[in-house]
Amino acid sequence: MAKSTVGSTPKLNLLDDIGMILFRGDLKSKTLQNAIVEATGVKVPVRGKISTEDKTSIAWMSPDELLLILPLERVGELIEDLNHKMGKEDTLIWDISDLRSVFEIEGNFIREVLAKNTPIDLNRDKMRKGTFRRTRFGQIAVAFWFESETKWFMICRRSEAEYAQQLFEVSSKPGEIPSVF
Amino acid sequence: MLKLVCPYCGIEADETELVSGGEAHLKREGPDSTDDDFEGYLFLRENPKGVILERWRHAMGCGKWFHVARCTVTQEVFGTYPAQTFKPPPRIMEEIKSRRTGQENGLNSDKAEKFS
């Protein structure tokens, strides 16, 4: 029998001390790989993945783009460091902390709430730890990943953050979450 | 529901995560072209009952354009391939040939051949 979900509503919190750096370049390049590992201590993720080390994460966005997610106060020095390490190689390193928002989702039945609004397969064997999945949440473009079953992250454009928050709240009303996964 | 595998992300993306870009492999007509050729490039599109090569964009994902070979009658997908090409790769042609004998000729990519 399905578990009761009443009283286990997951909560969405906006993280306001998160910095983000957009990193575009030739991801196969040795210079790039070395520069990133040396500057952040995190290895460059393979396709569709996110790698995390302590408080720094690197997500694979597209074949020529990475997203560095780290504490806001470290953004400035890291950009300088990366620019220096990349030398003359053609790259775009850009502080986009004000462009996107990161949410932390905590609680039980997170997969259920997300599944109401996204077309992706959220089964435990498909959406695994370390997966970074860019998709749609309601009408907006987002990306999901998780640290544990009860702690997920969602990233979206800052201008659409209010929509994301309201949609999540509506979808996670007590008593309106089915137990599926 | 149409589901396509994005050749860049390797994930099966749902139709609602994608944006259709219409016919693939168009030959671009520039300022030196005749009015007829330019009109054709701008407005005239194939509308086959059967195999079509199309452009799609993974809009809610990596944001890249890619190409798809599918059947307009059955919605069968023969495969997807990256956009940096003038013609479908051999594996796509093989797939079309094995499932739609005869229809691999006269695909909309044939028009682009002189361009490649």
Give buried/exposed letters for B86-101 (b at 16+ CB in 10 A, else e).
ebbeeebbebbeeebe
Q: CATH classification of A100-171 is 3.40.640.10, yes or no?
A: no
Partner residue facing A47 (CB), from B9, B13, B16: B9
Residue A176 has pLDDT above 70, yes or no: yes
CATH of domain A18-95: 3.30.70.1520
Mean residue pLDDT across chain B = 89
Residue type at position A9? T
- Are B93 and B102 spatial neighbours (Cβ–Cβ below 8 Å)? no
B61 vs A135: CB contact, 8 Å cut-off?
yes
Mean pLDDT of A113-136: 94
pLDDT of res. B111: 62
Q: How many domains does chain B have?
A: 1
DSSP summary character for residue A131: B
Contacts of A48 in chain B (CB under 8 A): 9-11
Token pair for residue A61?
């966005």
- Are A59 and A66 spatial neighbours (Cβ–Cβ below 8 Å)? yes
A120 vs B63: CB contact, 8 Å cut-off?
no
Interface confidence (ipTM) of the complex? 0.87
Give buried/exposed letters for A84-119 (b at 16+ CB in 10 A, else e).
ebbeeeebebebbbeebbbbebeebbbbbbbbbbbb
Residue A21 has pLDDT above 60, yes or no: yes
- Are A124 and A48 spatial neighbours (Cβ–Cβ below 8 Å)? no
pLDDT of res. B112: 57
Choose the weakest-confidence range: A45-49, A94-98, B43-47, B110-114. Answer: B110-114
Q: Give residue A2's pLDDT band: very low, low, confident or very high (50, 70, 90).
A: low
Is the CB of A62 inside 8 Å of chain B's CB atoms?
A: yes
Domain that holds residue B100: 3-115
